[in-house]
Copies of this chain bind each other. A is one copy, B any other.
Amino acid sequence: MGAPDEAGSRPFRLGVLISGSGSNLQSIIDRLHKGAAAADAGAGDDARAIEVSLVISDNVSAYGLKRAQNNGIPTAVFPMDDYADRVQHDLAMADELEKHGVDLVVLAGYMLIVTPAFLERFPQAVINLHPSLLPAFPGGTPIEDTMDYGARVTGVTVHFVDAGTDTGPIILQEAVEIKYNDTVESLRERIHAVEHRLLPRAIELISEGRVSFDEANPRFVIIS
């Protein structure tokens, strides 16, 4: 394992967008960044080196920025207030991501909605993590909404981002059972544990070229 890169191969480069603590960024760093995957028993022969090339936050005090710096990963901050509108904000962010040669943009606890202008710059290459089994409980407070509804099963979704809110084609989902004595906090903890596994897994599959769209139904993501 850990064979040297063939001539001409380059790492699969991630741009990770965050707004807060960056615990999902940490799971990407721990499991995938610069060969962490090679040490993983699950990594196959087709595993390609993955690198977090840039971490972007809209919030200058996001702890995730520290996590990136601790691992020698470049960071950039794009506060919304510095821009005339969301499109200008997103285009500046897209420029920075392109400058770093990013192959995939990962929204990992990024609290702003990205604009269609941003998505056009990274076609079928922006993914998001959502703590529910979409299409159930979209929006900003899914775990609270799930508990209020009295659901008994929820989960985690990793999906491609499209122009809607939490409506894009689904890559992976995993169920999480709700226990009768669960609180929002205890449920959130179990959901986080699944997120920390599912998001790196989706990134790995995409980096290996194993994720494509069904021509007959472009909502349907095929994993080979």
Task: Name the distance in Å between A195's Cβ and chain B's nearest Cβ.
Answer: 15
Does A125 sit within 8 A of B, measured CB to CB?
no
Identify which of B133, B157, B174 contacts A133 (C-beta below 8 A): B133
Contact B221 A150 (CB under 8 A): yes
Known contacts A136-B135, A155-B175, A150 near B223 by CB under 8 Å: no
Residues of B close to A153: CB separation below 8 A:
133, 155, 173-175
| A144-188, CB < 8 A from B | 148-153, 155, 157, 169-175, 177, 180
Q: How far is the CA of A222 from the CA of B135 in the complex (A)?
A: 25
Q: How far is the CA of A148 from the CA of B214 in the complex (A)?
A: 11
Does A141 sit within 8 A of B, measured CB to CB?
no
Does A219 sit within 8 A of B, measured CB to CB?
yes
Task: Name the distance in Å between A180's Cβ and chain B's nearest Cβ.
Answer: 6
Known contacts A135-B136, A136-B133, A155-B175, A150 near B219 by CB under 8 Å: yes
Does A83 sit within 8 A of B, measured CB to CB?
no
Q: Per-residue CB proximity of A114-158 to B under 8 Å, as 1/0? A: 000000000000000000011111000000000011111101010
Task: Name the distance in Å between A111's Cβ and chain B's nearest Cβ.
Answer: 24
Contact B170 A150 (CB under 8 A): yes
A151 and chain B: residue at smallest CB distance:
B170
Contact A152 B136 (CB under 8 A): no
Residues of B close to A222: CB separation below 8 A:
180
Residues of B close to A223: CB separation below 8 A:
180
Does A9 sit within 8 A of B, measured CB to CB?
no
Contact B175 A151 (CB under 8 A): no
Q: Per-residue CB proximity of A197-217 to B under 8 Å, as 1/0? A: 000000000000000001001
Known contacts A153-B133, A153-B173, A173-B153, A217 near B148 by CB under 8 Å: yes
On A, residues with C-beta under 8 Å from B are 133-137, 148-153, 155, 157, 169-175, 177, 180, 214, 217, 219-223
- The 20 listed contacts between A and B (C-beta, < 8 Å) are A133-B133, A133-B153, A135-B136, A135-B149, A135-B151, A148-B217, A148-B219, A149-B170, A150-B214, A150-B220, A150-B221, A151-B170, A151-B173, A152-B157, A152-B170, A152-B171, A175-B175, A175-B177, A180-B222, A180-B223
